[in-house]
Structure 1
Amino acid sequence: MGRTESPVDFSIRDRGVLANYLRAHRKGANITFEELAKRTGLSSATLKRAASGKKTPTQPVVKAFLLGCGGDSQDVELGEIAWRRARRAERGRSDGRSPVPPLISTRGELSRALVNLYEGEGAPPLRVVQERAGSQWLALSSASRIINRQTLPATLEQMAAFLRGCCVPERRHGPWLDAWARVVTPAIHDDSGASPAVPILQPQMRRWMRLRNAVMHGDLREFTQVATPDPYKANEMFREWSSEGGEKARMKMWDQLLLESFATLSREPLSELRAYLPSA
């Protein structure tokens, strides 16, 4: 097995835990670093550094190391959890003290929570965050300003994009989007007597914000899918409006958004408000 390895560096505990985890897998596979290098395509020096505890390796190196030692998907998943903890501890930028999304009530709390979210994911390169989020929604400059606490997401869609970039599952987006709406845009309260300090973003308001973002980005497909929950009708609307040309489609989107604005703010049914819209 070659020379005896130096003791793991535990100056940063979580980084040392990751190194120990990698060493245990190499020991279990009973292979040398040279053999592991052949299996992974990485240099022996890179693999030795990864298992030293002196510096957190990259996520791809951790994955390759474990697979090269015969690890399965569960081994890799546990290794990536250890990697994220090591990265967070090494960077030292996450205080871990931000409130959970339903309790966020200020811009500062939301900003700190988003930074902790990013750091908790292992602070991946911003290009990786952008690829996960969708470049049309999250520019590199915007992502950089968000994680450096210089700004908050400018739109609901950009907030959702940042969440995707940090691997937050879609089913967990709701409380985060509500938190963004509470501190960035005027919120609509429900009728249940909820505390004004923690207003609730109504589904109708969330729907309106998606429509508004679709109009601003000229996204007819998104607009029709939100405006009409029936997939068949949404597809029909998309085909009809897109066939009329870009300018006329944009005017129809703006007209519909105007109606939706009144319905959202006044809570009047859309069917009653259509009478006020000039016929095309």
Structure 2
Amino acid sequence: MGRRENPIETTEPALSRLAAWLREQREQAGLTYSQLAVRTNYHATTLQRAASGRSLPSWKVVEAVTGECGGDLKTARRKWVHANYWAHVPRPSGSRRLRAPRRVDPQQVDSFADLRRAMHEMRRKADWPSLRELDRRARDRGGRLPSSTLALVLKGEAPLRKPVFLAYMEVCGVREARRALWAAAWDRTNNARTPFPVNSRTYQSEFTRAMQSSSAGTSTDILFRLWMTLRTNLAADRDDGPGHSGAAGRGGTDDNPPVLV
């Protein structure tokens, strides 16, 4: 059977289990990677990479290996879907959880992080269409969901705007009644982010109070952050005149507010 394989490289449990399972199927079938390559029409290097744990293999590769090795396709699909889920949704820091999180309830979400987790779940139920495929579906409906923008939204690196959220649910095949519940969840979450007006005056008073108490132990780090926040909000206030829209803190990002003294 050739030389012993290198240890599986991934630190992601679901991907590690998929790689180990693929190795087990090949070994039980008594095939080398070269022999399996002939049968599957995939290069031996591709098959070795699929079982290495370095990256998530495509379902087509997993399906081909499983079929030629006489493995159970339902088991293969379940393991691949699980690994694919965690490839798109990073685990919380320090998590050793082996199962995907439970279904997110739209009536209980209280953050845009929850909404993004729900978006990943919607995509999983739609059989993980590519971002380009989602954009194509949106275009067919007269809209747009640029894949580059959507990628940033799903990673939390761009605001989750309501039109994007609504279009995303539609192209993922979410039922209309369910979409209405999620739309209400977006409204509730977005409104909760700005319970009272926050502007430069708010931060100016906080900065003044912090300066007055600096001799009592207020750290220079906090003072510096307050000063930078004050400068930013002064600039925002200047831009927030006629012809400018958008209150600070709204729009679907998960940035934490500055720490006040």
CA RMSD of aligned residues (A): 3.8
Name the one with the larger helix percent: 1
- The 5 Å alignment of 1:10-49 reads 10-49=10-49
What are the Cα deviations for residues 182-232 of structure 1, in whole angstroms up to 9, with x where unaligned? 4349xxxxxxxxxxx9xxxxxxxxxxxxxxxxxxxxxxxxxxxxxxxxxxx
Q: Does 1:101 align with 2:137?
A: no
RCO higher in 1 or 2 (8 Å CA, sep ≥ 6)?
2
Query: Equivalent residue for 2:7?
Result: 7
1:183 aligned residue (181, 186, 194): 186
CA–CA distance in structure 1, aligned partners of residues 85 and 110 of structure 2: 27
What are the Cα deviations for residues 19-67 of structure 1, in whole angstroms up to 9, with x where unaligned? 1111111122221111111121111011011111222222322222222
Equivalenced residue count is 178
Which moved further from structure 2: 113-122 or 155-164?
A: 113-122
Shift of 1:80: 2.3
Change (3 A) 1:3 1:81: same
Shift of 1:3: 2.0
Contact 1:98 1:112 in 2 (8 A): no
1:114 aligned residue (115, 119, 125): 119
Query: Equivalent residue for 1:231?
Result: none
CA–CA distance in structure 1, aligned partners of residues 85 and 104 of structure 2: 19
- The 5 Å alignment of 1:1-280 reads 1-85=1-85, 87-88=87-88, 99-104=104-109, 109-115=114-120, 117-118=122-123, 125-130=130-135, 133=137, 135-137=139-141, 139-141=144-146, 143-144=150-151, 146-149=153-156, 150-154=159-163, 158-164=167-173, 170=175, 174-184=177-187
Shift of 1:69: 1.8
Contact 2:40 2:64 in 1 (8 A): yes
SS at match of 1:154: helix
2:21 partner amino acid: Y
Contact 2:107 2:185 in 1 (8 A): no
2:161 partner amino acid: L
CA–CA distance in structure 2, aligned partners of residues 155 and 39 of structure 1: 44
Query: Equivalent residue for 1:225?
Result: none
CA–CA distance in structure 2, aligned partners of residues 174 and 151 of structure 1: 21
1:110 partner amino acid: L
TM-score by length of 2: 0.53
1:80 partner amino acid: W
TM-score by length of 1: 0.50
Q: Give unmatched runs, 5+ long, in structure 2.
A: 96-100, 193-261
Shift of 1:87: 1.9
Change (3 A) 1:4 1:112: closer
CA–CA distance in structure 1, aligned partners of residues 31 and 133 of structure 2: 32
